[in-house]
Structure 1
Amino acid sequence: MSHPDSNAAHACSPYPGMVPTAVQTRTRVVEQVQLAHDTYRIRVECPALAKQVVPGQFFMIRTANSEPILGRPFALYDTFLGPDGTPQGIDFAYHVIGKATKLMVHWTPGDAVEIWGPLGNGFPVFEGRRLLCVGGGIGYTPFLAVAREAAGQRAYGTRAASESGRKVTLLYGSRSRSHRADLSDFDGIPNFSVKLSTDDGSEGHHGFVTDLVQQEFASADRPDAVYCCGPEVMMRAVARLCEAAGVPCWLSLETPMACGFGACFSCVTRVKVDEEPGWDYRRTCIEGPIFPASSLVLG
């Protein structure tokens, strides 16, 4: 394994269906900041991986040489750029919910971590006129890179830069104002807007974020597509609203996973198939985590 400061990476032998360019490397923490109640953004240095990843993909991360043995999956929040404008590393956002994330809170600049990726697929490049991103709780985090790419502000991986002029709206729901994330990282994205909802009415719309989705579909400026991430019950509701409105929808599933490369089958989700009995399992880490909502058995 490489020294943390070398940023060297070694190629893994990919399992069938795994991203062939996925690599495992030991690197170091650059920065950690708090975004909301029990929610943090951590930055790690890994130029090679930062040049490959696209919005919607994820990485497995763990502390080097310590428990827990298994890494934890974290979706791309964004890449960060060096003085010359080239990607230098990855930003992740996480919510403190278990042993691993409780340990991550104590990571400081210079700490060694192991990272493996990029894994999974990404959101499709948006080519319409107006994109609606719907996030609940920590589920807003994939949409910083999505919005920057769709608006033509940034390019990711080998994708060509999008044309400018596309509109992106983020609908973000949280329990209360105190639990709302700091969305200042979205400042400066052209043609971007955000609408908030809180369960207790302490900020924005008093109610669920799905209420805002219905309002958008009823407006004259309907979106051409919806990208969604958050609690499962919220995503099911958004998918049904999109189906009724005839608007294409993609979901970023947050299914718990152990290995990240398809060997353990702990992250399976049900998808529609033509054969009897009408559905089959797909691994979120390999065939996902991004799925067209129309392909899923939502229950």
Structure 2
Amino acid sequence: MPMSTPSNLCKPAYQQAEIIAHEQIAEATWRIRVDCPYLATTTRPGQFAMVRLTSRNDPLLARPLAIYDVFPQHQAPEHWQPTPPRSDTASGNPHFVDFVYAVAGKFTTTLTTLRPGDSVSLWGPLGNGFGTPPTNHLVLIAGGIGQTALLMLGREFLATVPSSQVTFCWGARHAGLFGHAEDFQSCGMNTHFATLDGSKGHHGTVIDLLNDMEKNHVFKRAAIACCGPEGMMAAVANWTAERSLNCQVSLETPMACGIGICFSCVAPVLDEKGDWDYRRTCVEGPIFDSRAIQWDAMT
């Protein structure tokens, strides 16, 4: 049974958002918190926002960032509360939005120079978001910075699905790349790590970790959600297909506009008739059934 597609998506809006906190949390990895009530109350797990540097013209274009977390300030994670609560968040309604990003170019390098009190321009929420898994066991698989798309999905699943279980598997080159893994552990997920150098968790790739965990039959009747480098997601897609497991992937395709006009983010996807066609990651995605992606053309 496939996962159901979200149908209650809200319209995106343009917003100016004040930066509340901004810190490095791992090697070449930063976390930024902005005050943006509309985005905080309307976003669904797996959606993203186009982020632009308000006071800069270079780089000119906005960049897509996955929405990592939303919450009222008084419920901020205990391990990252860099600012005191604000009186206007006491109602308990989501008010703040967190993004986690890797420094990998001019935009993200410039973004690291912004400080609390500065502002960014946001357009969102965008994208289709994750569907609801038809199971009570959800397995989240992240590679590199792919955890950014998965936290909200796992926490919502635990809160809304009776007798639910979430297993989180995160692979990276080394232990210094795991930033704020406590976010997944503190909300009740079973967390597992894999590093290529063996510095944390399983020594090997995330596929090696999955193969090792499979010995204990932990994936029986599980549904999978995955985000990471394309090669890693292709490997997970093959792994889940061999086991007849439902798997959704969040594509990290580069995009320029975020609204489907420029067609710079298209991905080869199997359509309803069984033919290959191109779909815009920013509109029809970024979430797709892993079996619908033509991975050879992606990687």
Same fold, TM-score > 0.5, yes or no: yes
Aligned-partner Cα distance in 1 for 2:97–2:67: 7
Matched, 1:279 2:270: no
Structure with higher helix content: 2
- Aligned partner of 1:265 in structure 2 is 263
**Runs of at least 4 residues off by over 6 Å:** none
- Aligned partner of 2:145 in structure 1 is 138
Q: CA deviation at 1:69?
A: 1.6
Q: Secondary structure at the match of 1:214?
A: helix
Q: Would the aligned equivalents of 2:19 and 2:32 in 1 still touch at CA under 8 Å?
A: yes
- Aligned partner of 1:46 in structure 2 is 36
Matched, 1:55 2:53: no
Aligned-partner Cα distance in 1 for 2:286–2:217: 32
- Aligned partner of 1:128 in structure 2 is 135
Q: Among the aligned pairs, what percent are the same residue?
A: 41
Aligned-partner Cα distance in 2 for 1:294–1:218: 24
Q: CA deviation at 1:164?
A: 4.4
Q: CA deviation at 1:183?
A: 0.7
CA, structure 1 residues 274+21, in 2 after alignment: closer, same or farther (shift >3 Å)? Answer: closer
Matching residue within 103, 106, 113 for 1:99: 106
- Aligned partner of 2:295 in structure 1 is 298
Q: Would the aligned equivalents of 1:26 and 1:114 in 2 still touch at CA under 8 Å?
A: yes
Q: CA deviation at 1:30?
A: 0.7
Give the 5 Å matches for 1:14-29.
21-29=11-19
Q: Which moved more, 1:267-276 or 1:108-117?
A: 267-276
The gaps in structure 2 that reach 5 residues or longer are 1-8, 73-88
Deviations 1:83-114 (A, max 9, x none): 32210021100000111100111111110210
Q: CA deviation at 1:186?
A: 2.2
Amino acid corresponding to residue 273 of structure 1 in structure 2: D
Q: Would the aligned equivalents of 1:121 and 1:290 in 2 still touch at CA under 8 Å?
A: yes
Q: CA deviation at 1:40?
A: 0.7
Greater RCO structure (CA 8 Å; 6+ sep) = 2
Deviations 1:23-64 (A, max 9, x none): 001121111122210101101111112110011000000111
The gaps in structure 1 that reach 5 residues or longer are 1-18, 153-161
Amino acid corresponding to residue 27 of structure 2 in structure 1: H
Matching residue within 3, 24, 40 for 1:34: 24
